[in-house]
Structure 1
Amino acid sequence: MDIVPVGYTPPRTLEELEQLPEQDQELAFDVAGEVMMDVQIVAGLAPGADISVLFADWDQKGWIDLLDQVILTAPAVVSISYGLAEDHPDWSLLGIHEINRRLAAAADKGVTICVSSGDDGTGDQMRDRRCHVDFPASSPHVLSVGGTQIVRGDVEESWWVSPGDRSVRNGGSTGGGVSTVWRRPEWQKVQVDSLNPGAVDGRVVPDVAALAGPPFYDLVFVGRPSPNGGTSASAPLWAALIARVYEQLPPAKQQRFLTPLLYGTGTNSRPLGTHACRDITAGHSNASFPFPGRGYQVRPGYDAVTGFGGPVGVELLKALMTV
């Protein structure tokens, strides 16, 4: 699922792209390239899946209209690669709660909505001293997906490239932290304290992670190589995996909201997510600089940088068979 500015028409060929002013070329890559990245990742990893691409206006009504369609059709899984800091001024209090209400309705229908946790670390494009998390990734009714990178050949660690946000070309960091809007759901039994003094015991994100940084994804846009990444790529990766796993499950276990199941007890009295994911224990915190200049730490087990870790598809299938 991608949200594109109303009236926007992407270039259809390389020639059309090259004729655009530089600023419009960047917009094409940001908007149309984002859509194509999601579609290519899902199609490449789940080639047998039925893929629908939903478009909406870039405003709160667009979000609501789009989620109403998701509730109506109830697909098994949805991927969203957009969001803003949950306290960003573009969100109204009523709007963010109406969107969350629809996310809850989708979850009640067994729809797992995979949402990117953000690419700007704890700053989340907000220029103040507080730590922020992205919405709708911070909603208790979605699967929030953070990012990793591969370094030194085969070492997977949390995604962080100086200065921890996209203010510098190729910079970025996985979003993650503790919500200041949504209380921690009862099923999320983790110990993570907010870095914001006096903050509520909020929903912790992300739940899981996947490749977001180097070496990125080999993609094509208007006929030419266009490598890309970010948690905008991690979310459709998880969506594709979930679609493939659900296909292998008995019908009664196919349409289930995945996120609470990951925190439930699996074998050996450990959360199911620890069996279904590869723990990420190396890497930088997800601090962004200069604001807020601090972040959450990677640690063994669940953390607010990579969640339970990267996916292990076979183990996820085995774990869901037992629940």
Structure 2
Amino acid sequence: MKKRTTVVFCLAAGLSACGGDTGSGSNIVNATPGSHWSHLDQLTAKVVRGSGVDGTLSPADLYAHYNMPSQYTGAGQTIVIVDAPGSANVANDLSAFSSYYGLPQCDASNPCFQQINLNSGAVSASNDWDMEIGLDVEWSHAMAPAAKIVLIQGASSSVNDLFKALQVAVSQPNVVAVSMSWGATEFSAETQAAYDGFFKSYPGIAFFAAAGDTGNNGTNQIYPAASPYVTGVGGTTIQSLALPETSTSEVAWSLGGGGPSRYEAMPSYQTNFLSATADPVLTLNSGKRGIPDVAYNADPNGSPVAILVKGEWYGMGGTSEGAPQWAAIVARLGQQLQTRGSSVSSLLASNHGFNSLIYQTKIDQASKSSFFDVTAGSDDTSNKSCVICSATAGYDEVTGLGVPNVGNLLRYF
């Protein structure tokens, strides 16, 4: 089985692979995309069979599973995907993917896809992000088919170039959400103005980042999912296409990332929530931010989705599946707010960002929760006892607040 298995930037030469810390982000170099993929004919151990290509999960399966109301499809909103360079013809693949699943075509009459390539050279065969780009673009379109998708490809996969791409991302008209399906092993400079300060400067935009695909070994938490101004997305395995109202429907994915941040202090929205719910993470984290904030389907073997890249279908997974699809959920929210004369920008800015907003909704709600709680499964890859590595009732550092109940989330506002 072919598989891309790592989601982290690797640090500069002379440090242990993907594990050291120079004290500065300047030495963080290349990123590998956070997706796991296999040829469809190699997918033989699926826990759940969907209605998509070769039994993978289809858009319709996820609409139903996460209770996505059909009247809101992201119209009038823009989702920005930030990735490194890839060699595929993204527009052609998106067109064929959309045709297969009956989604709107992005063409001259419906300009719902735009590609901004900041790379002027050839794509390296050893660092080709074609699979990640296909997953991000195709599935953000699938989950918000009326939204505009803007793909910004950095000049390279270096952290500096990806942050330059983020600068372009926040300048796009009508942008409501930015998806980042990549991450770096945390570094001490992440709290500085160039990193956290950038995200903090745009409280009216929801930023989503994959929380990682190597489980929790105690030291492998990643950035930007660790930033308090970014929504970290953890991973789950869908075991039943029914609504995930019980622990048997959806469980924590064994390789989903999470755990306490090494450098970020616990933000007030987490402190307030954990205090109000008497959650043990408040004590166990010793004042550090908890990762992730939310979760989404991610298991490439147990509950894969399919993408089309260069005319071939692949089964996909990883926490990078959830980041663009959570961005699509915000686009649906944006359309609803727009019909009421409001906007995502004004809602988030007045509530100090998306994370503050969703933690407060969880406090305010009872039986009509915006989240399905995930209470089973573990992401422990530490080979030792890990109290915080198991999904439990309430907030946990495997699946965060849970997976989305989109209908209830939208009805809250």
TM-score range, shorter chain: 0.7 to 0.9
Q: Equivalent residue for 1:83?
A: 183
- Name the residue aligned to 1:204: 290
SS of equivalent to 2:306? coil
* Superposed displacement of residue 316, structure 1: 0.5
Alignment counterpart, residue 132 of structure 2, candidates 28, 34, 37: 34
Match of 2:212 among 112, 118, 130: 118
Q: Is 2:238–2:251's contact at 8 Å kept on the other side of the alignment?
A: yes
- Gap change, CA 1:217 and 1:207, over 3 Å in 2: same
On the 8 A contact 1:262/1:271 being kept in 2, the answer is no
**What does 1:112-191 correspond to in 2, within 5 Å?**
112-123=206-217, 130-151=218-239, 155-160=249-254, 173-188=255-270, 189=272, 190=274, 191=279
Alpha carbons of structure 1 residues 145 and 59: separation in structure 2 relative to 1, 3 Å: same
Distance (whole Å) between structure 2 residues aligned to residue 279 and residue 159 of structure 1: 14
1:162-219 per-position Cα deviation (integer Å, ceiling 9, x unaligned):
xxxxxxxxxxx11111111111111213241586xxx751111111111001211122
Deviation at 1:254, TM superposition (A): 2.2
CA distance 1:94–1:140, shift in 2 (3 Å): closer
- TM-aligned CA deviation for residue 158 of structure 1: 0.5
Q: Which residue type is aligned with residue 214 of structure 2?
A: D
Deviation at 1:252, TM superposition (A): 2.7
What amino acid is the match of 2:375?
Answer: T
Displacement of 1:271 in angstroms is 5.9
SS in 2 for 1:180: strand
Q: Look up the match of 1:166.
A: none
Deviations 1:243-283 (A, max 9, x none): 012211134342223211111256xx546998111011111
Separation (CA, whole Å) in 2 of partners of 1:65 and 1:96 = 16
What is the CA-CA distance between 1:64 and the residue it aligns to? 2.6
Per the TM alignment, residue 240 of structure 1 is displaced from its structure 2 partner at its CA by 0.8
Amino acid at match of 2:261: S
Aligned to 2:311: 223
Q: Matches of 1:115 and 1:275 in 2, distance apart?
A: 23
> 1:45 is matched with which residue: 143, 147, 158?
143
**Residue equivalent to 1:164:** none
> How do residues 268-307 of structure 1 correspond to structure 2 at under 5 angstroms?
270=364, 275-283=369-377, 285-290=378-383, 294=386, 296-307=389-400
Aligned equivalents of 1:303, 1:27: Cα separation in 2: 34
- Measured after TM superposition, the shift of residue 132 of structure 1 is 3.0
Structure 2 counterpart of 1:252, which letter?
S
Number of the residue aligned with 1:3? 83
Output the TM-score relative to the length of structure 2. 0.61
Structure 1 match to 2:19: none
C-alpha separation between the residues in 2 aligned to 1:81 and 1:149?
18
Q: Which whole-Å CA distance do the structure 1 matches of 2:236 and 2:266 have between them?
A: 24
Match of 2:317, as an amino acid? G
| Alignment of 1:71 onto 2:170 | yes
How big is the alpha-carbon RMSD for the aligned residues of Structure 1 and Structure 2?
Answer: 2.9
Retained in 2: the 8 A contact 1:132–1:179? Answer: no
Distance 1:157 1:286 in 2: 10
> CA offsets per residue over residues 124-174 of structure 1, 9 Å max, x none?
xxxxxx4331100010101111111023675210011xxxxxxxxxxxx11
Match of 1:264 in 2: 360
For structure 2, list consecutive stretches of 5 or more residues without a partner in the other structure. Answer: 1-80, 94-123, 243-248
- Equivalenced residues, count: 276
- Contact 2:216–2:382, Cα closer than 8 Å, also in 1: no
Distance 1:156 1:94, change over 3 A: closer
SS in structure 2 of the partner of residue 281 of structure 1: coil
SS at match of 2:305: coil
Q: Which residue in the other structure is 1:59 paired with?
A: 158
CA 1:84–1:4 in 2, change beyond 3 Å: closer, same or farther? Answer: same
In 1, the alpha carbon distance for the partners of 2:167 and 2:251 equals: 37
Counterpart in the other structure of 1:20 = none
Aligned CA distance change for structure 1 residues 251 and 137 (closer, same or farther; 3 Å): farther
Partner Cα separation in structure 2 for residue 315 and residue 236 of structure 1: 20
Q: Distance in 2 between matches of 1:72 and 1:229?
A: 30
